[in-house]
Amino acid sequence: MKHIVSGIQPTGSLNIGTYLGSIKNFVKLQDQMPEHEFFIFIADLHAITIPKEKQFLRKKIKELAALYIACGLDPNRVNLFIQSEVPAHSQLAYLLQCNSYIGELERMTQYKDKSKKQESVTVGLFSYPTLMAADILLYDAEYVPVGIDQKQHLELTRDIAIRMNNRYNDIFTVPQPLIAEVGAKIQSLTDPDQKMSKSDDLIKSRIDLLDDENIIRKRIRSAVTDSVGTIVYNKEQRAGISNLMTIYSVITGKSFTELEEQYQGCGYKEFKDDLAEVVVGELKPIQERYYDLINSKELDDILDKGRDRAIQVAMKKITKINDRIGLGRKRR
């Protein structure tokens, strides 16, 4: 069976950017690609590349696990697990670091952005993309569904895989990113030139999946647009309204042309009021399921089952890689 792999960092509250650019896509794919096995995880090792407080981290790990399921991941279709509970991720990351170069890691734009904001930069933050490559190559992923901001990391993963395939006789599947046509980059509500981000200090910039419906309405009402006043998609010149149309389109499945026709002659108020109801309607059942799940044994059982299957696949792969590299003793 071919594999699909992806993960999300438990670094903050999950917002509709991550949901529409990533989780909603996983849910669609689990039905569209029945011949693939899915490995979806909570990237807690990635989260500590910038140190986190213990209680906060634990809370966010569990919250993300429950939200994955509440958003519609089917635990019978998907192996859902916590990255740190499968030690082979760290093991392979080290082996990949021995086959990666400082120069190529220095070129990563996320590293450049994140390191600028830190007083001192950890080695973990610098080597972050090699851990991500390990997450993917460990399971021989054929496809990796991600948002656009992860594209460069995927290209590096492919480069490392090809390099090691040449050196160690085809040990890895070279993965391909799966980037949604619409929704792969949801922008901030307050600065539509920036990505909507869970680490943005400005809370008004995003809608979190667990936000109360009145907050959702307020955030959409105050989202930055422009003075033109028409509902027309133009990402370059009218980033604000185009971003809101993207959110509307990904949730309802309506194309930009359909939305332009539907809202011809209408102003922003009418469009925003409708969008708010569309978002509230999408998030309500997710929130209800989340509160049922968050402290349940069901969630622990799902994570145990996912971990056991991930360990089974990952350990087999690590043993094979160690053998190809020549580590340890020759197997009899």
What does the binding site for ligand TYM look like in residue numbers (CB under 6 A)?
5-9, 17-18, 21-22, 43, 46, 132, 135-136, 144, 146-147, 149-150, 184-186, 195-196
Q: How far is the CB of 25 from ligand TYM (least distance, A)?
A: 8
**CB-nearer residue toward ligand TYM: 73 or 184:** 184
- Measuring CA to CA, which residue among 294, 317, 295, 299 is closest to residue 86? 317
- Measuring CA to CA, which residue among 127, 122, 125 is closest to residue 98? 127
SS3 (DSSP) at 146: coil
CB atoms within 10 A of CB 265: 7
Do residues 25 and 38 make contact, with C-beta atoms less than 8 angstroms apart? no
Which of the residues 52, 151, 195, 317 is marked catalytic?
195
**185 an active-site residue?**
no
The number of angstroms, rounded, from the C-alpha of 279 to the middle of its chain's C-alpha atoms is: 20
Q: How far is the CB of 284 from ligand TYM (least distance, A)?
A: 21
Q: How far is the CB of 40 from ligand TYM (least distance, A)?
A: 9
- Which position's Cβ is nearest ligand TYM? 21
**CB-nearer residue toward ligand TYM: 109 or 264:** 109
Which of the residues 2, 28, 112, 114 is marked catalytic?
114
Length of the chain: 332
Which of the residues 52, 151, 198, 204 is marked catalytic?
198
**CB-nearer residue toward ligand TYM: 250 or 303:** 250
β-pairing, 176-178 vs 141-145, is parallel
- Residue 198 CB contacts under 8 Å (≥ 6 apart), including other chains: 11, 12, 13, 14, 15, 17, 18, 206
**305 an active-site residue?**
no
Quote the CA–CA distance of 191 and 26 in Å, as a whole number: 27
Q: How far is the CB of 229 from ligand TYM (least distance, A)?
A: 26
**CB-nearer residue toward ligand TYM: 27 or 266:** 27
**CB-nearer residue toward ligand TYM: 17 or 192:** 17
SS3 (DSSP) at 194: coil
Q: How far is the CB of 82 from ligand TYM (least distance, A)?
A: 12
Do residues 127 and 67 make contact, with C-beta atoms less than 8 angstroms apart? no
**198 an active-site residue?**
yes
Which residues are tagged catalytic? 114, 195, 198
